[in-house]
Amino acid sequence: MGSYILRRLLQTLLVIVLLSYVFYYLMAMMPGDPVDLMISSNPKITPEDVIRLKSLYGLDQPAYVRYGHWVQDLIKGDFGYSRTYRVPVMELMGARLMNTFILSLASLLLALLISIPAGIYCSLHPNSKLDYTINFFSFTGISLPSFWLGIVLIILFSVKFPIFPAGGTQTVGLDDGTIWDIFADRTKYLILPVLSLSIQQIGRFSRFVRSAMLESLRNDYIRTAKAKGLSHNVIVWKHAFRNSLIPLVTILALSFSGLFSGALLTETVFAYQGVGKLVYDSIIGNDFNVAMVALLISVSMVLVMNLAADILYSVVDPRISY
């Protein structure tokens, strides 16, 4: 088991390095340059200025050289400097990562809270009216374009019935309030984006739980358990649900890995100060440092979570061993 983990970690590292180079190269291939863009807003910039700035930023060097510098800096612990905001990347990203984490975690928890009971209920009463209704809502959930849902929610709950704010992370200047004030305030801003995100997840998860439960309920050992006279609750939770955990763990792992990569579209629509929007802006603005760090974080999360999922399998299913 130990050597397996080690092997996987090494492979993960290799993949991260390769991906980072590919990504860096792709970004370098994007035509145009942040310096060139400055020309449009400041007509007084001369070509000498352009040459000077490009050499100052190192933009006149080929991609692999710049990549090399970037890796060197990274190893030294210097995460780089944001071209757009002129501040160190980590300073920029810290708060944003936290915000995205809160948003993703809240919606994930909400989704699980609703979808697991719903899925189990449906699997226990297949083809009933409620089953069909929930099924239909699940399908709707996974077929919705998330940004559209966000817009519709804003129309309904911020414009037509002004209950919730139309976007933002928190009311400005409230950092000096009490913990409870801050909590209540942040919640106000979180409700619509969390709803928007979780509706999709609820759709996906409940279908999943339902089919996983149906699969495990079909097994012979369930019939045996019933014959043995075990109570309904024990059968459902101790036997059926436990066995449906494997596919559930896969999905959960994938979802956890998405915790930091940010719900880009939702954050854009709600102007939520998260990492997703930052990544988008930095790619478009050719702010390499920020984009690369964001990419690294999300890729590592995915790969680490995959590894965690694989390990969890062996815990949950004694048949599996490495």
Partner 1 sequence: MKKVKNWLWAAVAATSMNLVFAKDGIAAPSNKELKIGISQEFENLNPTIKQMLATEYLFNLVGRPLTTMDANAKWVPVLIKEIPTLENKKAQIISVGGKKKVVATFEILEKAQWGDGHPLTCEDFDFARTVGLSPNVSTGDRETFSQFEKIEWEAATPKKCKITFEKARWDFYQIGTFYPMPKHIEEPIFKAHMNEKEGYERNSAYVKTPTNPGLYSGPYVVSEIKLGDHVTFTANPRFYGNPPKIQKIIVKLIPNTGTMEANLRSGTIDMISVLGLDMDQAIAFENKAKSENLPFDVHFVQSMTYEHIDVNLENPILKDLKVRKALTLAMDREDLVNSLYKGKLRTAVHLFSPRDPWFTDKPGEISLYKYSAREANKLLEESGWKLEKDGYRYKEGKKLSLELLTTQGNKTREMVQVILQRQMKQVGVELLPKTEQARVFFGETVKKRKFQGLAMFAWISAPESIPRSTVHSVSIPSEKNAWSGQNSTGWSNKNVDQAIDSLELEFNPKKRIELAHVISKEYTADLPVLPLYYRSDIAVTPKNLKNYKVSGHQFSDTNFVENWNLE
Partner 2 sequence: MEINSMEAIKNLEKPRSMAQIVFAQFLENKAAVAGVIVILIFTVVALAAPWIQDAMNIDPDDQDLANHYLPMASYSEAPKNVKESLLHNFIAREPEKAKVLQDTLLGQHLVQVENPEDALFKLLELPPLEFEKLLISTQAPEAQSLINLSKKFKSFHLFGTDEVGRDVFIRLIYGTRISMGVGILTAVAAALVGLLIGAFSGFYGGFIDTTLMRVTDALLALPTMPVLIVIAAVDIQKVPFLNFLVTAQNQSIWKLVFILCLFSWMQVARLVRGSVLSIREREFILAARTLGANDFTIVVKHLFPNVIAPMLVSISLGVGESILYEAALSFLGLGIQPPTPSWGNMLNKAQELIFEATHLAILPGLLILLTTISFNFIGDGLQDAIDPKTIKR
10: contact with partner 1 by CB under 8 A = no
HSE, CB side, 13 Å, CA atoms: give it for residue 259: 17
125: contact with partner 1 by CB under 8 A = no
What is the spatial distance between Cα 114 and Cα 170, in angstroms, rounded to a whole number? 26
User: Footprint of partner 2 on residues 95-154 (CB under 8 A)?
Assistant: 135-136, 139-140, 142-149, 151-152, 154
Q: Which is nearer to partner 1, 171 or 314 (CB)?
A: 171
State the minimum distance, in angstroms, from the CB of residue 188 to partner 1.
6
**Binding string, residues 220-259; x marks residues near partner 1 by CB under 8 A:** ----------------------------------------
What is the spatial distance between Cα 152 and Cα 269, in angstroms, rounded to a whole number? 11
Q: Which is nearer to partner 2, 116 or 144 (CB)?
A: 144
CB-neighbour burial class of residue 202 (10 A; exposed 0-12, middle 13-18, buried 19+) = buried
HSE, CB side, 13 Å, CA atoms: give it for residue 273: 14
State the minimum distance, in angstroms, from the CB of residue 271 to partner 1.
5
The helix/strand/coil state of 13 is helix
Q: Which is nearer to partner 2, 128 or 140 (CB)?
A: 140
What is the spatial distance between Cα 154 and Cα 72, in angstroms, rounded to a whole number? 45
State the minimum distance, in angstroms, from the CB of residue 184 to partner 1.
7
Interface segment toward partner 2; rule CB under 8 A; list 57-65, 220-228, 229-237, 257-265: 257-265
46 contact partners, CB below 8 Å, separation of at least 6:
none
168: contact with partner 2 by CB under 8 A = no
**135 touches 122 (CB < 8 A):** yes
Residue 16's Cα: distance from chain center in Å? 18
92: contact with partner 1 by CB under 8 A = yes
**192 touches 107 (CB < 8 A):** no
Chain contacts with partner 1 (rule: CB under 8 A): 31-49, 51-53, 56-58, 81, 84-88, 92, 95-96, 151, 154, 158-159, 162-169, 171-173, 175, 184, 187-188, 191, 268-271, 273, 277-278, 281, 284, 286
